[in-house]
Every structure is written in C-alpha cells, then in structure tokens.
Structure 1
Amino acid sequence: MKKFGIIGSGIAGIALAIRAAKKGYKVHVFDKNPYPGGKLSQITLQNYRFDAGPSLFTLPHLVEELFELHSKNTRNYFSYQRLPEICNYFWTDGTQLKTYQEIDQTIQELASVLGEEETLLKQYFNRIKQNYEILNPLFIEKSLHKFSTWTSKEALKGYTNIPKLGLFSTMNQFNKKQFKNPKTVQLFNRYATYNGSDPYQTPATLSIIPHLEYHLGAYFPKGGMIEIVNSLVKLAQEVGVEFHLGEEVQKLLIEKNKILGFQTAKNRYEFDQVGSNLDIELFYKKFILANEIPVNYSKLVQEKSSSGIIFYWGINRTFKELGVHNIFFSDNYQQEFTEIFQEKTVALDPTVYVHISSKVEKNDAPENAENWFILVNTPANSGQNWEDFARITRQKVIDKINKILKVNIEDQIEEEDYLDPIRIENRTGSTGGALYGNSSNNKFSAFLRHPNFKKSIENIVWVGGSVHPGGGIPLCLSSAKIAAESLKD
C-alpha cells in the first residue's frame, strides 16, 4: 500500500487524509499540537465552552461529501441545523435589524428598517446568485493552474459574463450602486471580512459571499463547530488514517526536487506522497529555503489578511435581544479598514462581532448565562504591542456594548480569556496570526494564491486557507478536493 504523509491537521489536512485514504493510500497525519483541527478548536473556562476559531458554518454538503465518499451515513457522525435568524445588526444611533434564512423576510426587513426598495433588493440577490453560479465552478472548485480549467465550458461562460462579475470595481463601489442607505452598504461591505479583506479595496467579485448565507443557508453543528473536526477525525480513523498528534515535523527528506518523507523528534518516515496543511509562508521558511530547491520566495510574501483580537467571556446573564451571530457596527467603517490595512493598528472605533453558541447549544454555558465569543478585526502581527492593543480594544468593546445594549457588561463577565495575533500564530502557525492567509485586496489576488501542486517540487500537494482557493471552512475543504484530484489512484 502506498504511504501518504500530511503535515498539519487543520480541517483541510483532515479532509485531504480522508480523500487520500479513498484513493488507496495509508495516510499518516502529523501535528505539533496535542489536538487536531488547527484554528477549528475549542477552549473551556470553568462551565463555559467556546469554539476557539471559525463560528459560521455554510455549505455543509462539503462535509457530507467526505462521509459519502466512504459510503457512510453522515447523520451517524454529524448533524446540524439551519439557523432561522442569520444575524442581528446594531448601530450606535439605535437602529437594529435582523436578517433571516427566508430571503423574502430579509428583504422585507431591509425595506422596513433601512428604506430600501424591495424590487431592487430582489435584483441584487438574484445578481449575486448568478455571479456565484458562474464563479464557483471556475475559481473555487477547480485549480487555476491547469490549462484545462481555462478551456472548460465554465471558463467560457465566465468570459462572456466578465462585465457583470465586478472584476474592475471594489465591493464598496458595487454596493453603493445597489443600495441607497449607507447602513445597507455597510452591512453588505462586511462580507469582505469573511476572507479577511477590505471592502474598499477588494474586488466586487467577492460580493457573491452573501449568497452563501441568504440562498444556501447559515448553519450550526450540534455540539458546536468543534464537532466538524471530531466527526471527521472519527471518520478518518475508521478508514485507516493515523494521527501523530504532538509530533512536529522538523525537516523534510528531500532528494533533488523530490520530497521523500519527514523527520520528527521521534522518528524518520518515508512516504510515496506528501501533503502540507501548514501556512504556505511558514512551509517555505521552515522547509524549502534551507534546501537547495529554487523558488521565488518574494512571490509568497503578499499582504496578509486581517487577524483579530478574540475575547472569550462567560456572561452571567442572558440577552433576549441577541442571537447566535451579532454585529455592533463602527460609525466610520472606511476609517476602520484604513487603520487595519494601511496604518496597521487597531481601530479607534471597531466593529464588534459577538457569537453566542449557547443560544442553540445550551450546554455551552450554565443556566441563565451565555458564552460570548467576541472578535474585533485587527491587522496581522508585524511587531505591534499586542498587550496594549488588547487592553485598549477590550475597553472599546465594553464601551460599545454598554452604549448599544444599555448595560454595564463588565459587571457580567465571570470568566475571561483572549487571543491576539501573536497567540493565534503560536497556536496555528499562520504567519502574523492572519486568519485567512493572504488578503484579497486586489483584483489579481485569486491568481496570486499559491497553487495546490507544483511541477518544480515533486511528490507534494498543498491545502488550507493560505493556498488556492482561499480561507474559510468551505474553501479549505475545496482545496483538499482539488489537491486529492491530482493524486494518482
């Protein structure tokens, strides 16, 4: 049996292992951490449980595919529900708005609260649906580094629709043309943050992101986001994958341009095929530059996506006005992104995201209490004083929540922890603590992402949020599928 070694047990590494096992490989997965999942992990503070990283679950069929690949019933391993309410939005002037799984209900809410025209809203949602159906098969489901991709029927459809796809305008410019209320523009500009980018720079092609929530659904797994990892690890082990947790790969075994295996502190392993789920910049720094493999490293050093300061608060009361996903908006959104991406500092007036899984998973918090996962977008680490930034940001979060909810939230915090970009980098290996690899702040970003395979380095495929097609759970799962399709049976 051919042997396959994978560095990193993030969601993409686990998915690659499951797919490689189906192709007949004996798969070994290595991770320096004592737990699998990478960013998709959890923390516990006394009687509060928190998903440590991603909190939004879309495109569940990409997870189900992995079970179906091995003729398993997904429901025996993993279950989830569609959220009836997608998100609660709050502004400091008292405006509040909800978005819903029923798109007509969302349209009515946007018309009623923000004064948008229902007909134009329907046109907007139809347009992003059409654009998604054009772009997804080309830019997300396939490698951009195969000639066949660019001569496919999907590519030809894309060529004929270039004027509609927003390649030459920004997300903000696109949204300003669609909506008359600046709050609506702000709401839909927020979707640039789903891959760690700036709506005032990122191309309007990314305006397809809301389609995932409003047409295809926002979901939440039973047991929390961690159950995506737990269920896939269980499946992987059942199909013969071995996990070497707490065993860091120290060097690659390389002969000329061919990778033959790994060296860890415990052992030397030889493989017929290798995969990496490491941050791509870290991979090259750690393994390739030390060897005589020619590579243009400068191409890898691109603008990083945003990182974040994440607070985990155990709150000793409940808030009926909040849901699973909540946004407290900045009063000056453009200035916030200027501070993050150009000034490389924390925002003076940050937008605050609050995720409360205990709204649906009652065991995640004690009775009459809530587990608040709070994310404030920040730049990736480039030497800033994060201890000071965390302290400053914590107070800004408290001030904003107090103003909007008319409470003294600090008195309600009974358990607390936090992550900053340095801590995120130390836990996950992502360069600078960037949450999504490189940003998508220019129209060529999709083409500049590292490919899933290269002729110049044999026997290896790359997966994860720092390579094609990008960051976030669905794209990481797509990267594993693209990489696995390049493997020989």
Structure 2
Amino acid sequence: MGKKAIIVGSGIAGLAASIRLSLKGYQVSVYEANSYPGGKLSEIKIDGYRFDAGPSLFTLPEQVEELFELAGKNTKDYFQYKRLAINCNYFWEDGTRLSAHSDVDKFADEVNKQLGEPKENTKKALKKSAYIYQHLAPLFMHRSLHKWSTWFNKKAFRSYLRMGKLGLFSTMNQANSLQFHHPKLVQLFNRYATYNGSDPYQTPATLNIIPHLEFNRGAYFPVKGMHDITSSLYGLAKELGVSFNFNQPVEKILVKNNRAIGIQTPSGDYFSDLVINNMDMVTAYKTILKEEVQPKRLLKQPKSSSALIFYWGIKKNFPELDLHNILFSNDYEKEFKTIFDKRDVYKDPTVYINITSIHKEDDAPDGCMNWFTMINVPNNQGQDWDKIKSKAKEFIIKKINNTLKTNIEPLIEVEHILDPIGIETKTSSANGALYGNSSNNKYAAFLRHPNYSSKINKLFFCGGSVHPGGGIPLCLLSAKIMADMIPNA
C-alpha cells in the first residue's frame, strides 16, 4: 500500500487535488459533508428545468484539460466545450444595448456604434489587460506567494519594475475612467471587480487583468453545462482510484507533534500521511482546526460579497437574451456603497441573467428558458434575509420589466432561491462570501492563506479561500500549486 492522502471537501479544487495526488502515487480519500461533489459547482433540477447552481463563466479551459492530459486521457472523451461568439449582452434602462463580441475588433466596433467610444480606446484597454496578465499571472496565479523562490527570480524582478503600469496604485474605477470617455463603458469594465466579489471603487486596477481572460483568451461553455466540469473531473478521479466518502462531515483534523495525521468524522478516525483542506479557510479554523494556532490577521480580513440567486423557469423565449446578460444599475457607485457599507441591497440593482438553455436546449421545456437570475449582495452579517429577499425580488422584477419592456412575474412558473445563508450552509463558505476575503485593497493578494500550513507539517490548503483566489481557474491553480509542493509517494 502506498502513502495515504486525505482531502477535506470535494469542491472543484478538492477534485483537482485528488487527481493530482493520485497521479503522484498517493492512495487518496475524499471526505465530503454533502451527498454530492463539486461544492458551489453543482446543479439544480426542478420540474423539467435544469440550472447550474453556482459559477456560470468558464475561462482558461486548459486548466481542466491539463488534468486529463496528466492522466494520459483524451479530454474530448470526457469533457467538451465551445468558445462563445458573444461573451455577454449588456442592457441599460434608457434603451442602450451592447453585445460584447468575443472578437476584439467586433467588440470595439460595437462599442463605437452604440456608445461612440473611439475603437482604439477599447483595443488599448484590452492590450493593457493582456500586459497585466503577462507580468502578474506567472507571479500571482501560478506560484506560491509564500515561498522565497517566487520573489527572487528574473520574471519577478521584471514585474517589480512595472508595478505602476500594472495598476497597483490606483483603483479599477480610476483606471477605467482614464481609459474611456463614455461612463457606460467605464461601468462595463468596472463590473469585472464582481468576478471576485469586490468593489471597483476600492479594488486595485490590477483586477483589470480579468477582461483579458474573457476577450483575448476566450469565454467558453461546456456543452453539457457548467456542472459537467464537476462530473467529468469526478469521473476521472474515480477512474484513478480515488475514494469518495459522501455525507461524511469532518469534525476535526487530527494533529500530533505539530503534524497532520488524519481526520475525525462521526463514523470514526481515519489516518493518513498528509491532509489537504479544501474547506473554506476561515470556517476550517473555526471548526476542524479550532484547537490549533489561529492566523488571526487573515481571519479578521473583510470578506467578499455574496450572491442572491433566483432560479426561475420562464415560460417564454426572449430572443434578445444570450447565455450571459447584464442589466445595469443607473447608479453603480451607490449600489456598491449599499452592498459594502450599508450591508444591504440597493433599490436599483445590477441584474445578471444566465440562460444555459440557449446552448443546451434540454435545460428547459420547449418555448421556455431557465433563468439563473442573480444580484450581488453583502455577505451574511446577521441581516434579516427573509426581508431582504422579499424586497430584492421586487427590485429585480422592476429592473427586468423596465429594461426589457416586459411583465416577467406571470411568466415565472418555477422558483428556487439561494441566499448567503444557504451558500454558507451548503458550501461552508464563511458568512456566505463567494470568494473568501475581499480584494478591496492593494495588499489583498498577499493576505490570502498559503497553500500549506506554516505551523502544522503535512497540512495543505486549496480552494477559493486561499491563494491564488476564487473562481474556477484560480481554484484549479490552487490545487496545482499545492500539489507541486508535495513529493511523489
């Protein structure tokens, strides 16, 4: 028998970690409190409608493909996806509409046609986004920030010389306001802060790295839906011999002589040569690591925003809508102040609608659509969420009706609601925050937990609450960074 590895949690990073460690020769066992794998990346089925429950944007597909390639498999035998021609459709209440073509030239033409913004401004912004990615991705996304070797190499030194150009010293909104003339285009590029639950009026302009992923690298759709990322990786892990134990909440990570030696569950203790924690870092320290030394500074960091999602079965087709759709608030800055300062929902929210039935017709009955209807909300700080959900639904319906010139309420035949409390309960995310700690300051990248414990030997971390951050690509990279620290069994 080879060395044993136990993984706490089967979120997307936990699945990737199980594959990587299995290929390193470990006998891997995954313990999951839920009855299913995937964490946030799960699905919901109601009365003929199917919804991807969580993340809805797919970028950097090579991070998924790499796992199959490492296992000597042909990705297409397990998982298929296609590049989107339209990344997102944008709508404003005054009737302005804009389709964000994945082709940069077409997108620049569209922006010029709809907003009068010079084409070169859009192209320059996306070139700047690519520049930020070129210099920051090797440092912040693909390596541990907590190892000296990351900081003392040629690539790192080249990046230090460009910190001013990389947006570290201004906010996203300040940078975008300088790049564009039209306030609607500033708003469109500001929305990328929400991709990791942050505020564009506070978060550093380094987050302008994100449009590069969507436009220059491409946005994609798995042909079987986002949940197929989970299903395909889960299938691969099982093929490799990974053992999954569902409905098995971990009560404690066992530590002896400053070394992780296994876990405690309701059904007994299980021992291993190393332990990987894929649970939210804050929740883990408050529960399964509560007897160990606490990283107090990290635990006190402000959390990211959360989401309020209405999964609606809509008995009508809206041809103007695509896979990704944004209905913008008339006052974006007030919306973010309400979320982060007042910890409430704004009366005129920006509404995101994801409709997978456009590309996967069996996700909704004929003539119908499956609307994943979401607004950004504060994380759970004890608010009255029943009251918030009630008024938020009114605000959302009003925004949809005013923007799309419709009466949506009679068309809703199926409804399921997920709020921050539900997110916290289902995924152990502290306060229901979607991305762990927020990125609303220039030091946020340095204030994430490393992919290993500096206090407990043989204890490692992966997932959206640790380095390098939240979202599918970064979660997969967290598993890669972590696994690269572990020698073969």
Shorter-chain TM-score: which interval?
A: over 0.9
What number of residue pairs does the alignment pair up?
487
Q: Which residue of 2 aligns with 1:206?
A: 207
Q: Contact conserved, 1:300 with 1:450, CA < 8 A, in 2? A: no
1-structure distance, mates of 2:408, 2:202: 35
Q: Contact conserved, 2:379 with 2:432, CA < 8 A, in 1? A: yes
Structure 1 residue 13 corresponds to structure 2 residue 27: no
Q: CA deviation at 1:287?
A: 2.2
Most deviating of 21-30 and 247-256? 247-256
SS in structure 1 at match of 2:287? helix
- 1:389-433 per-residue CA deviation (whole Å, 9 max, x = no partner) reads 011001111111111111110010001110110011001100111
Q: CA deviation at 1:298?
A: 3.9
Q: Which residue of 2 aligns with 1:103?
A: 104
Q: Contact conserved, 2:250 with 2:288, CA < 8 A, in 1? A: no
**Structure 1 segment 179-198 matched on structure 2, within 5 A:** 179-198=180-199
TM (norm. structure 1) is: 0.99
Q: Which residue of 2 aligns with 1:30?
A: 31
Q: Contact conserved, 2:38 with 2:230, CA < 8 A, in 1? A: yes
2-structure distance, mates of 1:346, 1:155: 41
Structure 1 residue 484 corresponds to structure 2 residue 483: yes
Letter in 1 for 2:65: E
Q: Which residue of 2 aligns with 1:134?
A: 135
SS in structure 2 at match of 1:261? strand
SS in structure 2 at match of 1:93? coil
- 1:195-236 per-residue CA deviation (whole Å, 9 max, x = no partner) reads 000000000000010100100111010111000000000100
Q: CA deviation at 1:351?
A: 0.3
* Deviant stretches of 4+, over 4 Å: none
Q: CA deviation at 1:115?
A: 1.0
Q: CA deviation at 1:328?
A: 0.3
Structure 1 residue 304 corresponds to structure 2 residue 293: no
Q: Which residue of 2 aligns with 1:53?
A: 54
Q: CA deviation at 1:296?
A: 3.5
Q: Which residue of 2 aligns with 1:319?
A: 318
2-structure distance, mates of 1:317, 1:130: 43
Letter in 1 for 2:484: E
Q: Which residue of 2 aligns with 1:66?
A: 67
Q: Which residue of 1 aligns with 2:116?
A: 115
Q: CA deviation at 1:299?
A: 2.9
2-structure distance, mates of 1:340, 1:384: 12
SS in structure 2 at match of 1:399? helix
1-structure distance, mates of 2:293, 2:172: 37
Q: Which residue of 2 aligns with 1:447?
A: 446
- Percent pairwise identity: 53
TM (norm. structure 2) is: 0.99
Q: Which residue of 2 aligns with 1:274?
A: 275
Q: CA deviation at 1:120?
A: 2.3
- 1:243-262 per-residue CA deviation (whole Å, 9 max, x = no partner) reads 00111111222113111001
Q: Which residue of 1 aligns with 2:389?
A: 390
Q: Contact conserved, 1:281 with 1:301, CA < 8 A, in 2? A: no
1-structure distance, mates of 2:142, 2:261: 29
Q: CA deviation at 1:163?
A: 1.7
Q: Contact conserved, 1:314 with 1:371, CA < 8 A, in 2? A: yes
Q: Contact conserved, 2:401 with 2:408, CA < 8 A, in 1? A: yes
Letter in 2 for 1:446: A
Structure 1 residue 471 corresponds to structure 2 residue 470: yes
- 1:254-302 per-residue CA deviation (whole Å, 9 max, x = no partner) reads 113111001111132100011011000000011222x2x3334243221
1-structure distance, mates of 2:214, 2:253: 41
Structure 1 residue 376 corresponds to structure 2 residue 375: yes
Letter in 1 for 2:309: I
Q: Contact conserved, 1:40 with 1:226, CA < 8 A, in 2? A: yes
RMSD: 0.8
Q: Which residue of 1 aligns with 2:169?
A: 168
SS in structure 2 at match of 1:247? coil
SS in structure 2 at match of 1:13? helix
Letter in 2 for 1:127: K
1-structure distance, mates of 2:117, 2:166: 23
Most deviating of 451-460 and 61-70? 451-460
Q: Which residue of 1 aligns with 2:40?
A: 39
- 1:289-327 per-residue CA deviation (whole Å, 9 max, x = no partner) reads 2x2x33342432211111011000000010000000000
**Structure 1 segment 283-298 matched on structure 2, within 5 A:** 283-289=284-290, 291=291, 293-298=292-297
**Any gaps of 5 or more consecutive residues in structure 2?**
none
Letter in 2 for 1:193: T
1-structure distance, mates of 2:385, 2:129: 38
Q: Which residue of 2 aligns with 1:220?
A: 221
- 1:43-84 per-residue CA deviation (whole Å, 9 max, x = no partner) reads 111000000000000000000000000110000000001111
2-structure distance, mates of 1:422, 1:104: 43
Structure 1 residue 408 corresponds to structure 2 residue 410: no
Q: CA deviation at 1:186?
A: 0.1
2-structure distance, mates of 1:371, 1:295: 43
Change in 2 beyond 3 A, CA 1:82/1:296: closer
2-structure distance, mates of 1:117, 1:249: 56
Q: Contact conserved, 2:345 with 2:377, CA < 8 A, in 1? A: yes
2-structure distance, mates of 1:175, 1:298: 31
Letter in 1 for 2:419: D
SS in structure 2 at match of 1:162? coil
1-structure distance, mates of 2:468, 2:98: 32
Letter in 2 for 1:43: I
1-structure distance, mates of 2:213, 2:182: 23
